[in-house]
Amino acid sequence: MPALKRLSALLLSALLLLPALAVAASAGSLATEAPVRVGSGGYPRMTRLADGDLIVTGETTEYRSSDNGATYKKTSSNLFSGLPSSVKTASGATHALTRANTVPIELPDGSMMIFYRCHTKNYDGSVQKEFYTSIRVLSRAGSSGPYSGETVLVESAPLVHHGYWEPYPILLDENTLAVYYSDDLNAGKTSSGGYLQDIRVLTYDIPSRTWDKTPRVCLSGKEHQSRDGMPTVERLADGSGYVMSIEAQPKPASYVFCTQLWFSENGYDWKSGVIVAEPEIYKNKTDNKAPRCSAPGVAVLPDGRIAVSYQENVTTRRRAVLSDSVDCNVTMKVIVSKDPVSLRTGGHGLAAAYQGISSSFEEVEVRRDFTDSSGDHSDAAYSIWNAVTCANGYLYALSGTGYNLSATERRGFGVQISRLQVGEPFVRPETAPITTPPVTTPPVTSPPATTPPQTEPPRTEPPVTLPPATEHTTEPATQPETSPTATEAPETSAEAESRTGTPETTGLPDRETREEQTETGAGTETGPAVQKKDSLPVWIPALGGAALLAAATAAFLLLRRKHKQQ
């Protein structure tokens, strides 16, 4: 009898241990491959072309991959080459220009556009009263070569350092391209004087190649009492609607950010916002060191799950070397919903987060390489202005990376991209294997007969089904339109402008300073990533738990049978 009791206790312990074993089995199971250092640049954004190639922009630079992101080749060192370097506003003031937040998109006919913000360079409010701000677009006839035909979509020249930021394009349907952007100029202020921010949208009619330049408010900062910013939008996998990720600042004066998702059936009317990530430490600080889950991106997996990226600065505060700039103290986080998301069931079904990530999501380990000839700099590293894209059977995680040498000095690794397989990898038709059916000779009978000629059946390629293209497809822009409030001055330098990034100061950071951290480094363009040690295979702890439970159950039944016989 004592033996039976001991075995019963053992069996109960095994049963209680199974959940922990299951957690151990799943831990680390979502992890990207080792990263590829693509090359110099920051604010990386990716789009998939109709032929399966991947285009990546790193602000002014452009890279291309033809092997599902295993390697990348630089195709442009300056996307803005030859464009005017200054603009003259209606007041008569001339503004040197900077261009940033570059996002590419392909159109159905194979042409491309890139969207970006363009504004006063190195604005100093103590010297300049006027700040020029705009959202612009360039186009090109194919998937390579220079862009041209710069078009101003929206612009202003206010007497405050606020304006238009972070454009993001998506094809809503076969005839309509939408570009979303942040507007902290027209959203109003809080009762304490803090600036609110809207998410707005402009549309492009593809058949007529014309822009509707009357912006529509998608998310109202005044209504939410928030600085809603940095929108990215993707179509849900089942076509039931769209998902938008934003950084939200429910208390604008505190500068504490969280990551939210919003949903829409048509791309214009958005509802059902939910926080999916917020800082574990939620302090109302008034400087730019406040905890944050900011600068998000969103991607939709083939099975309908949603992936969200963002940057957080809570864990990096524990590192050895920090920068005076909060954005150079952040790391990339990626979370993936545990279930597909659809609007056909009446709602998204996602749980709201509280001091951490939503229980509807699980975290992905994003691998980065922070080593150089002087050693491993993980204890001082950062990954900023991150993005996620799903294409060709992979989820891609993109970052501008570097490390801090001191509070005021840092070194860049440039753009790093790692991937996680989430579906069948894309295979190009021309690389699909060709099979030849075996040739058989008809039997010869007596009396001898003429042997029919042996002909080889025609060689055929098995059909290859291309995965559906991402939503980044649209048509070329019209030629530049005359700006109603500004005329562009001729280029003042033969060399095209390139951005260099500026260290931040304390207090509320300048908006373009916060977003313009161009990472330059000695990263190779096509070299393979440094391999990291793989995590424990998920079947090992699961198999151990199953074996333990099976052995305990068998022993329990055997002893129980013997006990009854006695």
- The 10s digit of each residue's pLDDT in 127-150 is 989 999 999 999 999 999 999 999
The pLDDT value recorded for residue 477 is 36
Q: What are phi and psi of 332, to 5 degrees?
A: -85, 135
Residue 516: pLDDT band with limits 50, 70, 90: very low
Assess whether the previous peptide bond of 447 is cis (omega < 30° from 0).
Answer: yes
- pLDDT at position 386 over 80: yes
Tens-digit pLDDT profile for residues 10-60: 445 444 444 444 434 444 479 999 999 999 999 999 999 999 999 999 999
SS3 annotation, 472-532: CCCCCCCCCCCCCCEEEECCCCCCCCCCCCCCCCCCCCCHHHHHCCCCCCCCCCCCCCCCC
Mean pLDDT within 76-95: 96
Helical spans, DSSP H, in 149-263 = 221-224
Q: Phi and psi at residue 431, in whole multiples of 5°?
A: -105, 5
Identity of the highest mean pLDDT range in 287-291, 464-468, 511-515: 287-291
Q: Is 39 within 8 Å of 524 (Cβ atoms)? A: yes
What pLDDT digit, counting tens, does each position of 392-417 carry? 999 999 999 999 999 999 999 999 99
Q: Determine what percent of the chain is predicted with pLDDT higher than 70.
A: 69
How many residues does this entry show for the chain?
Answer: 566
Give me the pLDDT at residue 429, please: 82
Task: Compute the Cα dihedral for 41, 46, 50, 51 and give only its sign.
Answer: positive
Q: What is the pLDDT of residue 428?
A: 84
What is the average per-residue pLDDT within 181-185? 97
Q: How far apart (Å, rounded) are the C-alpha atoms in residues 31 and 27?
A: 9
On the question of pLDDT at 248 being above 50, the answer is yes
